[in-house]
Structure 1
Amino acid sequence: MAAFVPPLASFAVTGTGGGGCRCAYRHRPSPVCALRPPTPLLGASSFASPFFRPEGMSGAAAATLDCPLVASTADPTFPLARSELSAAGVRSVLLSRPTTLGALGVDGLGPDATAVEVSMRIRRGKGGHLVRGKVATRAKAVCDRCCGSFEADVEGRFEVLLTSREARPGDAPVDLLEEGEMGAADVEEQAFPTGLTSVDLGGHVHDAVCLGVPTKLLCGADCPGVDVSDVDGVTVSKGDATGGRVRIPARGNAWGQQPVVEDDDYLDDEGEPLLAEAMAALKRRMQKRG
């Protein structure tokens, strides 16, 4: 249960239209900052921020920040104007907008100018807007199988419930979901008070891109693997003509390690005597120990 904490401080929001704050604890299940600006934010404004302190967050930890739940008042990375959220007489809006990895602050996936396509379905209801989004881009990657460089498709999703009301302990969540859909408790909630003219979805888009990177990176489903050359005088290459793997001589390799025989013919008719001999040797050792 989240505990209500009175405003501890005021903070400044800069930028035309008031980009809004980015909450340091927005991933927590508790409601986040409910902003109450006295007037629409134009240019630079200051206002108090009542908020709910997430369970487990001490008062001392909250007091260390100028605004207890504000991580940054920097320019928004993916602003969405209130006018874009809904059209006259239309309850559901489809919106598509391009951005870049650099604009979102995503590092390590490619050049900053790499395009990211964001498509959203926005449903309007009493007390808020439900935003369901998809992101698509391509990232520089290294194949987990052959270690070659390639471009991987990255696709991710995000969902956020923009609520215009001021949350209070015990309030039921704004339910804009249809029957059979994910429950409201599973959708991230973000405050979007009526005094703000835009909301920043940059954090949600950023996370969707990062989480959309495949856990298994393969340049292709038929990737044969890495080239291994000159191991004990034997070359093992991709696409071996026999369709199997080449046996490494049993004398050991150049690093003094015992080789592992991995070819597909090890247990054929020719290989059975080798297996029988090994089993006999093991039996003799066991008898000596006994």
Structure 2
Amino acid sequence: MTVFGFHASHEQIHPRALLDAAIHAERVGFDAGMCSDHFSPWSARQGQSGFAWSWLGSALQATTLPFGVVNAPGQRYHPAIIAQAIGTLAAMYPGRFWAALGTGEASNEHITGDRWPRKDVRNARLRECVEVIRALLAGEEVSHDGLVRVDRARLWTRPEQPPALIGAAVSVATARWCAEWADGLITVNAPLPHLRRMVDAYRDAGGRGPLHLQVHVSWAPEQAEAERIAYDQWRSNVFPPPVCWDLETAEHFDAVSADVPMATVERVVNVSADLGRHVGWLEEYLALGFDQIALHHVGREQRAFLDAFGTEVLPKLRAR
């Protein structure tokens, strides 16, 4: 049965309020949680940027939900530090934590002052990071000289069972590449033919493990309010790669999205006041074979969305 999760957006919501939302999500029937890991929001209107790894410890303690995080090791984070963070959470909360690994965005990584590499270099760097993280979680002492450097690192606190390392992808080519190393795949909502090609590419290349989907939604009791929320909070997030990878600051995203039409926002966010439409959209994703769907309401206020979806949407999806 598909797991329905709550996506916690650190870019938009103060970490205290986000923790309250995660607790409430469990109360109203969500099965799981996941969160972003950003240093900067996508827009000044979003206005937050809590540290995911501090928050995850609180969220795992405050709920019984399993949680995941989408992380980009290699520049802002040294892979040995990410291995230690993964290992500690997985040791404290066995079977309840997973990490998705991707190549990241300049908006978060430029803060180190290092040059932002080409995509092929970022891919190669991520593969090195994955190998380092896996070796450390397996108890090995690791030294490595490549795009990342490691000197005699060893994890002294490790989980009995290493958690899943999921591959993050938005393109068919990246999904196929993730099959080489990942324990599962995560992507974001997109037109159904594209998602189908991604799933097929991952599985046909030998990809194993669960398929995760993050779905951006905007709901309010009135259609005009659902549209206002989506346009205010998510119009800076409509740009496909490489633009979304390479812009460096929230101000850059706000500048290029100043004149984005609402129709463009509706291509990346499922916007409707009609809960039945949301059920229909989600049923289409279920038919593609996703094992976990994390719902991200793009508004900054979460409780009304959680109540509505917990009461009216999730039970219908489970019944069908």
- TM over 0.5, yes or no? no
Higher helix content, 1 or 2? 2
Return the structure number with greater strand share.
Answer: 1
Greater RCO (CA < 8 Å, at least 6 residues apart): 2
TM-score normalised by L of structure 2: 0.18
Taking structure 1 as the reference length, what is the TM-score of the superposition?
0.19
